[in-house]
Amino acid sequence: MRLLLLGGTGEARALAAALHPEVELISSLAGRVPEPALPVGPVRIGGFGGIDGMRNWLRDERIDAVVDATHPFAATITAHAAQACAELGVPHLVLARPAWQPGDATVVASDIEAAQTVADNGYARVFLTTGRSGTAAFRGVDAWFLIRAVTEPEPATLPRHHRVLLSRGPYHYEGERALLTEHRIDALVTKNSGGAMTEPKLRAAADAGVAVIMVDRPPLPAGVHAVATVDEASDWVRARVRVR
């Protein structure tokens, strides 16, 4: 059995480790993060060239099943994989880590709506953790931003008043609480990525009385089969190995 594992997340690396070498798998990374943490086994890096490119690659590489364990906000690759697999009749699974419970957070649908919420509420010092691609929506907001990202955002996308903090998780409660205090943060903007690696900022914000604005994750394509844990995904793959 040949499995394509769409990865780039901790869950994808854990799944690759659980299946290797029992299953012949190829992990695929988008290539947007420098020096990514690599899973065990063969790895390809880069895009597929849209739905047509993915469909052709799956056919040419004789892929028997696909597990999509990409980031919950990687909506384009998730949609392309779902469509290509449906057209080819290739079994397809999405491993989607559970979303955070928003609690008292203000839930918005997009970065643009998050920026408008910051402006409407007059927040002055904002901890922005939506990644390098999420900064452009905040360019016109009259506030100071502590922007945390893995890679440097494009200068043209940055708000006027900011500091960029290049960092890669996991993060811990004490460090997150110290950041909020040191920079006098009054609002945290985050995507609802879920998972434990970056969740401590939510607990720190709640304890510090910092408002939270949470961008809701995009919905999964209609009809896809999704599981929430690495164990469930591993069982799904192994069931198909046994059938073959």
pLDDT value at residue 244:
57
Q: What are the CB-based long-range contacts (under 8 Å, 24+) for 136-140?
A: 136/111, 137/110, 137/111, 137/112, 138/111, 138/114, 140/115
Nearest to 24 by CA among 5, 9, 44: 5
Look at residue 81 in the predicted model and tell me its pLDDT. 98
DSSP string, 137-174: GGTT--SEEEEEESSPPPGGGS-SEEEEEE--S---HH
**What pLDDT, in 10s, does the model give residues 52-98?**
999 999 999 999 999 999 999 999 999 999 999 999 999 999 999 99
Query: Smallest Cα–Cα separation from 99: which of 216, 207, 206, 197?
Result: 216
Question: What angle separates helix 200-208 from helix 173-182, to the nearest 10 degrees?
Answer: 50
H/E stretch holding 76 reads helix 75-88
Q: Which helix (H) or strand (E) is 66 found in, with range?
A: strand 65-68
Domains of the chain (ranges; CATH) run 2-98+218-243 (3.40.50.720), 106-215 (3.40.50.720)
Residue 45: per-residue pLDDT: 95
Q: 166 forms bridges with which residues in the sheet? A: 149
> Which parts of the chain sit beneath pLDDT 70?
243-244
Integer-rounded Cα Rg, in Å, for the chain is: 19
- pLDDT number for residue 203: 98
pLDDT of residue 107: 98
